[in-house]
Structure 1
Amino acid sequence: MTDDISILICEDQTLMRHGLRTILELEPGIKVIGEAADGAEAVKRYAALRDEHNAPDIILMDIEMPHMNGVQATAALIKANQQAHIIILTTFDYEDYVFDAIKAGAMGYLLKDVPASELMTTIRQVHAGEPFIQPKIANKLLIEFGRQGRNAKAQPSHSQAVVEDLSPREIEILKLLAEGASNRKIAERLVLAEGTVKNHVSNILSKLQIENRTQAANLARERKLF
């Protein structure tokens, strides 16, 4: 008899987190050993479980969370624990989210509307060391990789980016990006339409000549904008 696959759930919505736990615990061979309500808590919880010689086999990671989002938490977990197997489970299939999550080290990327059977299959596949991304998301990822490859030689380094070219509103939004805020959260915070925020983010990336939100957030930290 094989050992159960142990799971750590990282999801900020309590109802969703408890629902996931219920679904997972109904599946033979799956065992939930911990929960976290945000990325920072997930990093701490993983470390505590590892120190108890009970590190989870799989981490189910949401993207949009307070304090530390799923991409940042994934990067932190992989940096500290190369054996961490992370599956992003989210409502968002934005190109930059997909690219950043995979680049950070996630081995799976699923939307939350998948059937429970597909989630279980993905958990077992990733546990076996095989990455999995839903086909419709994989297409976006391929497009993003292709675009980055074409633009790589033309892009200046982060050190060449000129933050001073940004408007006061764009600086405001860049600071919130550095905090891990989504377009929706930024829109709520600044009382703007989400479409307006998306346009501002596109302008920021264009002006700074960088590829994605993660690079923008890193640049904001380097320049000590918050």
Structure 2
Amino acid sequence: MTATAPHAVRVLIADDQPLVRGGFRMLVDSQPDLAVVGEADDGAAAVDFVRTHAGSALAPDVVLMDVRMPGMNGIDATRSVLHLDPRVRVIVLTTFDLDEYALEGIHAGASGFLLKDARPEELLDAIRTVARGDAVIAPSTTRRLLSHLVAGAAGADAVRDDPAVTGVAQAGAPRADVSRVDALRSDVPRTDPARNGAAGAAGAAGSVPEVPHTCPRDPWRDPRLRTLTAREREVFELIGNGLSNGEIMAELFLSEPTVKTHVSHILAKLGARDRVQAVVIAYETGVVLPG
């Protein structure tokens, strides 16, 4: 293995396809400020590498983690790697635009995710970004994936947990049409045959249950957001929309130290590890709507 430059970002590549690993290695090693320190063909090997080389010159700063690998998958591996060394940054790599595992990777502690067909400069920028302690949230693919994944998860939960909807489905009648936006709003009333008398009986008989129309819930009433100040709410909404610190500075006419202070306070109040988890919370609470 060639010597690593003293200040180069050390990268571990975890992917079960040798050609993919080789391509990533060539790309990363072509940069003077980046260096591949190892490869792993599954999640368990990635965890073993981090454990074996902890504290040494081969300890990775960033792991490029494929989601779908035999044995231990990339989600479980991400969780284990960060348990071993919380300073390691993980970028989850996924092939599909709507990979259900991508959001799980973020919840597991990954600092971002990219599609494998992203442009080479996007991958290199992502490595540098997470190595600085920030998170990969700016690319449109990331925002699109978060939008679909959070909305899809909320919609599935709404259907699964709704007695009226599941009851009608079992009876063979069409399900009620619950929009993705409504699925994100936890206060949208649900029809329950056991509680709603004649309407409930009609639902049990096979008609489509009526979902009463209500005004949208105020996302700022979510317990996770109640302690944010007015200015922190402004900054949080811009973070949720993928803006960088520089873009937030320009949008709100604030200085860089002020923006950094607000971001730090927001992450602490949300209990978020980094900006990606803050973005997830922005989607989950409805501060940023999917679409």
- What corresponds to 2:131 in structure 1? 127
Using the TM superposition, name which of 129-138 and 18-27 deviates more. Answer: 129-138
Q: 1:107 aligns with which of 97, 105, 111?
A: 111
Aligned partners of 1:95 and 1:141 also within 8 Å: no
Which aligned pairs between 1:3-152 and structure 2 lie closer than 5 A? 3-52=7-56, 54-133=58-137, 134-146=139-151
The CA distance in 2 between the partners of 1:19 and 1:143, in whole Å, is: 29
The alignment partner of 2:86 has SS state of coil
Contact kept in structure 1, 2:40 and 2:46, CA below 8 Å: yes
Aligned residue type for 2:54: R
Decide whether the 8 Å contact of 1:88 with 1:108 is kept in 2: yes
Q: Secondary structure at the match of 1:114?
A: coil
Q: Which amino acid aligns with 1:99?
A: L
In the alignment, the residues of structure 2 paired with residue 98 and residue 107 of structure 1 have an alpha-carbon distance, to the nearest angstrom, of 11
What TM-score results when the alignment is normalised by the length of structure 2?
0.49
Relative to structure 1, the CA distance from residue 150 to residue 23 in structure 2 (aligned partners, 3 Å threshold; closer, same or farther) is closer
Is the alpha carbon distance of 1:144 and 1:90 closer, same or farther for their aligned partners in structure 2, counting shifts above 3 Å? closer
Larger Rg: 2
Aligned-partner Cα distance in 1 for 2:86–2:11: 17
Distance 1:150 1:7, change over 3 A: same
- Judged with a 3 Å threshold, the aligned counterparts in structure 2 of structure 1 residues 42 and 154 are, in CA distance, closer, same or farther, namely same
- What CA distance in whole angstroms lies between the structure 2 residues aligned with 1:15 and 1:152? 38
Deviation at 1:148, TM superposition (A): 5.2
* SS of residue paired to 1:50: coil
> Residues 91 and 31 (structure 1 numbering): CA distance in 2 closer, same or farther, change over 3 Å?
same
1:27 Cα shift?
A: 1.1
In 1, the alpha carbon distance for the partners of 2:158 and 2:84 equals 31
Q: Measure the CA separation in 2 of the matches of 1:44 and 1:28.
A: 27
Shift of 1:89: 1.9
* Alpha carbons of structure 1 residues 43 and 154: separation in structure 2 relative to 1, 3 Å: same
Stretches of structure 2 that go unaligned for 5 or more consecutive residues are 162-291
Higher percent of residues as helix: 1
* Residue 53 of structure 1, CA deviation: 5.4
Aligned-partner Cα distance in 1 for 2:157–2:20: 39
Q: Deviations over 1:88-115 (max 9, x none)?
A: 1221232521211111111121111111
Deviation sequence 1:128-150 (CA, Å, 0-9, x none): 11111432332331344356568
Deviates more, 1:84-93 or 1:103-112: 84-93
The TM-score with structure 1 as length reference comes to 0.62
Aligned-residue sequence identity (percent) comes to 35
Deviation at 1:83, TM superposition (A): 1.1
- SS of structure 2 residue aligned to 1:132: coil
The alignment's C-alpha RMSD in Å is 2.4
1:19-68 Cα offsets, whole Å, 9 max, x none, are: 11111111111111111010000000011111535421100011111111
**Inter-partner Cα distance in structure 2 for 1:91 and 1:47:** 27
- Report the residue type matching 1:72 in the other structure: D
1:52 and 1:140, CA in 2 relative to 1: closer, same or farther beyond 3 A?
A: closer
* Aligned counterparts of 1:151 and 1:137: Cα–Cα separation in 2: 21
